[in-house]
Amino acid sequence: MTTASKISNGMLTLTVQDRKTGVGSKILKKEGKIPAVYYGPKTKSTPIAVDILLFEKMLQQAGESSVVSLVHGGTHVDVLIHDVVFDAVTDEPTHADFYAVDKDKKVSVHVPIVFTGEDIAAKSGGVLVKVLHELEVEGLPKYLPHDITVDVSSLTTIGGHISIKDISVPAGVIIKMGLGEAVALLAAPKEEKEEEAAPIDLTAIEVEKKGKKEEEGAEGVEGGEAAKESKS
């Protein structure tokens, strides 16, 4: 059966295949698939195989905070992409975990932040520092956002900042982090100071030279006296 990805009732859908125990990732890779598994509080751990190209597309569209529907043997299972293992060299996914959610039970997920208005903040002459890149939120699966937008165009003075309390989230979703925690701030640019060369102590050099000359003179006298003694 060929896997397919589509949008059904506003939700991304991915058709998957059974994966027999003992079938390794190398065999699946030749077929253009990766091993995966889905599980949950009310769902037993089920091994499956997923088309790698369609999974990459779904991961890009849904991320790890949007609910997607797995179609497995005619059964629809609402899941979150819970964990993905990537190849250290190719950066391609090699395994995926899906978490089967209960539509009536709240879940906590990490949602990426999308910053806007950066060009306006940059005109202030400061340096935009993105303190956070994702937020931990909680809500029913149907309310979880794909991402959260943070407008930083209001940062026009050095030292200005945006905190979590300044961020708007969809209804039914709460942020599970300190309200006073900074998300982004405008810092003063670092001034590059030219390192001044240490002044040369000419007196020390002269003393050193004088000392060497005195040592050489002393060695010459000692040598001359030694020569006289040998002749005598």
For tokens 């992409």, the residue is 81
Residue after which a domain boundary falls, among 101, 135, 154: 101
Q: Is the pLDDT of residue 219 over 70?
A: no
Which CATH number do you get for residue 18? 2.40.240.10
Same domain, 14 and 97: yes
Which range among 23-27, 92-96, 192-196 shows the weakest confidence by mean pLDDT?
A: 192-196
Same domain, 34 and 83: yes
Range of the domain at 112: 108-187
Cβ-based neighbour number of residue 191 at 10 Å: 5
Same domain, 161 and 114: yes
- Compute the CA torsion angle 62, 64, 66, 70 (nearest 10 deg): 80
For tokens 């149907």, the residue is 142
Q: Is residue 229 part of a domain?
A: no
pLDDT interval class at 70 (50, 70, 90): very high
Which CATH number do you get for residue 121? 2.170.120.20
Q: What is the pLDDT of residues 169-204, one digit of tens each?
A: 999 999 999 999 999 999 988 776 656 666 666 565
Average pLDDT over residues 124-144: 92
DSSP at 195:
P
Query: How far is the C-alpha of 176 from the C-alpha of 172, rounded, in Å?
Result: 13
Considering its fold, how many domains does the chain have in total? 2
- Specify burial of residue 70 (Cβ count, 10 A radius: 0-12, 13-18, 19+): buried
**Tokens (6 digits) for 59:** 């991961």
Query: How far is the C-alpha of 211 from the C-alpha of 232, rounded, in Å?
Result: 32
Beta-bridge partner residues of 47: 37
Give CA angle at 191 (188, 197), nearest 5°: 160
More confident position, 7 or 186? 186
